[in-house]
Amino acid sequence: MECLKCNKKMTVTELMVTCCDCKRTSHSKCTKLTDDETVLYRERGLPWRCKACLKHKELFKDDFKKKSKRNDEGMGDSGRAEAKKDLNLTMGSIYEAIIEGDSTVRVSKDDVSYATDSIHALKLKNERLMKEIETLSYRLDMAEQNTKRNAVEITGVPDKKNENLLAIVKQIGVAIEYPMNDEMVDICYRINRQNKDGYHGIMLAFVRRFDKEGFLKCYRQKKGLNAKDLGMKKDSEIYIRESLSLNKQHILLETKKVAKQMNYQGVGVVNGEIFLKKSESVPAILIKDLKDLEKLLNPNMYNNVK
């Protein structure tokens, strides 16, 4: 079988279309149809005409128009019969064109409806997956924070070669008036994170949460701790805070930015939970995630959501 346009042999694997009038076949690429258009014609059984057949129909229509211009009074019975025949043929062609157009419109509507339903289904699936991801992320963060429930991070203690961290921690306990012994400490080590002076922080994990809370309470009551309080020569402020997961560290940082932006009194951390305090007369606000901060910054947007 040869292509009507290029006269080359065609194989069954090539996309092709067949003229509904002359029944001859052409490559889809020779007819300038896209692959999608070719598949649509074949799957829907829509009529397609080659260039020669289309030209023949156009000539037929032009001939009919010329005949219509004749004076009806000057036409004989045979002329009227011929004109009526031509009119019927033309009306048939118009009707066929209307049917083709209607079929194409129905196909387009079906395709649009299918695409709309698919998009809606994908949107619902994406929303469900996002909720599952949020839930899993929250559980993972809680699990990480749970491993740090008895730990604190100490920054500002100068590094020293061959240092005894347990002895340093005990010195801190003496300085804040919370005496410590070896049995109270689960683990103690330097972490990679450094402060502005280049000193590595100290991770201190207690065996009991009771001791961690007592240690923090005494530190806060002292209201200021310096390396010189430990008998060190360097002047460096020492800070002690609860150890937080990476996600909570990020939330804490953003909460401090919001507190400064909204002129709030301050931010606090209690047992791994982050609180934003507006003033002494107002209860502190628990900040669980970044959405809580967005609600504070854009209250009207969230109030309008039903």
What is the per-residue pLDDT for 302? 58
Instruction: Tell me the per-residue pLDDT of 30-61, one tens digit each, with 9 for 90 and over.
Output: 877 787 777 777 777 777 778 777 777 666 56
Shared domain for 8 and 47, answered yes or no, is: yes
Q: What is the mean pLDDT of residues 122-140?
A: 89
193-205 burial, b for 16+ CB within 10 Å, e for fewer? Answer: eeeeeebbbbbbb
CA distance linking residue 201 with residue 191, whole number of Å: 5
Q: Which residue has the higher pLDDT, 189 or 94?
A: 189
Shared domain for 220 and 158, answered yes or no, is: yes
What is the per-residue pLDDT for 306? 44
> Does residue 69 have a pLDDT over 80?
no
Shared domain for 124 and 158, answered yes or no, is: no
Q: Contact at 8 Å (CB) between 293 and 254? A: yes
What is the per-residue pLDDT for 280? 85
Shared domain for 212 and 281, answered yes or no, is: no
Q: What is the mean pLDDT of residues 132-154?
A: 90
> Does residue 68 have a pLDDT over 60?
no
- Kindly report the CATH number assigned to the domain that includes residue 225: 3.30.70.1820
Pairing of strands 239-242, 16-18: unpaired
What is the per-residue pLDDT for 5? 78
Q: DSSP letter string over 56-106?
A: HHHHHHHHHHHHHTS-GGG--HHHHHHHHHHHHHHHHHHHHHHHHHHHHHH
User: Using 50, 70 and 90 to split pLDDT, how confident is the model at 230?
Assistant: very high
CA distance linking residue 81 with residue 88, whole number of Å: 11
Q: 293 vs 65, 86, 271, 286, 288, CA distance in Å?
A: 75, 78, 20, 10, 9
Q: What percent of the chain is predicted at pLDDT more than 90?
A: 40
Q: Give the end of a domain, one of 242, 257, 287.
A: 242
Q: What percent of the chain is predicted at pLDDT more than 70?
A: 79
Instruction: Tell me the per-residue pLDDT of 188-219, one tens digit each, with 9 for 90 and over.
Output: 999 987 777 789 999 999 999 999 999 999 99
Q: What domain range includes position 282?
A: 246-303
Q: What is the mean pLDDT of residues 70-99?
A: 62
Q: What is the mean pLDDT of residues 128-152?
A: 90
Q: What is the mean pLDDT of residues 65-85?
A: 58
Shared domain for 159 and 117, answered yes or no, is: no
The alpha carbon torsion through 10, 14, 15, 17 (nearest 10 deg) reads 20
> Does residue 120 have a pLDDT over 70?
yes
Instruction: Tell me the per-residue pLDDT of 263-282, one tens digit each, with 9 for 90 and over.
Output: 999 999 998 899 999 888 88
Shared domain for 234 and 295, answered yes or no, is: no
Shared domain for 48 and 101, answered yes or no, is: no
- Kindly report the CATH number assigned to the domain that includes residue 2: 3.30.40.10
Shared domain for 158 and 235, answered yes or no, is: yes
Shared domain for 137 and 165, answered yes or no, is: no
Instruction: Tell me the per-residue pLDDT of 239-262, one tens digit each, with 9 for 90 and over.
Output: 999 999 999 999 999 999 999 999
Q: Give the end of a domain, one of 119, 146, 173.
A: 146
Shared domain for 268 and 221, answered yes or no, is: no
Shared domain for 137 and 220, answered yes or no, is: no
Q: What is the mean pLDDT of residues 225-229?
A: 94
User: Using 50, 70 and 90 to split pLDDT, how confident is the model at 304?
Assistant: low
Please count the structural domains in the chain: 4
Q: Give the end of a domain, one of 46, 69, 92.
A: 69
What is the per-residue pLDDT for 96? 64
* Conformational region of residue 164, where left means phi above 0, alpha means psi within -120 to 50, and beta covers everything else: beta
Shared domain for 166 and 237, answered yes or no, is: yes
